[in-house]
Amino acid sequence: MKLYSYYRSSAAYRVRIALNLKGLPYEYLAVNLRQGEQRAAPFRAINAQELVPVLCDDRGAFTQSLAILEYLEERYPEPALLPHAPEARARVRAIALAIACDIHPLDNLRVLQYLTRTLGASEEAKDNWYRHWIELGLSALEAQLAADPATGPFCHGALPTFADICLIPQLANARRVPLPLDAYPTLLGIEAACAALPAFAAAAPARQPDAV
Ligand SMILES: N[C@@H](CCC(=O)N[C@@H](CS)C(=O)NCC(=O)O)C(=O)O
Return the pLDDT at 44: 97
Distance CA 87, CA 72 (A): 21
Q: What is the pLDDT of residue 5?
A: 98
Pocket test for ligand 1, best of 51, 52, 130 (most atoms within 8 A of CB): 51
Note if the pTM is more than 0.85: yes
Any bridge partners for residue 56, and if so which? 2, 61
- What residue owns the CA closest to ligand 1's atom 10? 9
Q: What is the mean pLDDT of the chain?
A: 97
pLDDT of residue 177: 87
Specify the 3-state DSSP secondary structure of 11.
helix
pLDDT in tens, 26-69: 999 999 999 999 999 999 999 999 999 999 999 999 999 999 99
Residue 33 CA, closest ligand 1 atom number: 14
pLDDT of amino acid 17: 99
What separation in angstroms does the CA of 23 have from each of 41, 76, 127, 202? 32, 10, 37, 12
CA–centroid distance, residue 85 to ligand 1 (Å): 30
Cβ–ligand 1 distance for 64 under 6 Å, the answer: yes
Give the mean pLDDT of 196-209: 98
Which atom of ligand 1 is nearest to 6's Cα? 9
pLDDT in tens, 61-108: 999 999 999 999 999 999 999 999 999 999 999 999 999 999 999 999
With the most atoms of ligand 1 within 8 angstroms of its CB, the residue from 14, 108, 168 to mutate is 108
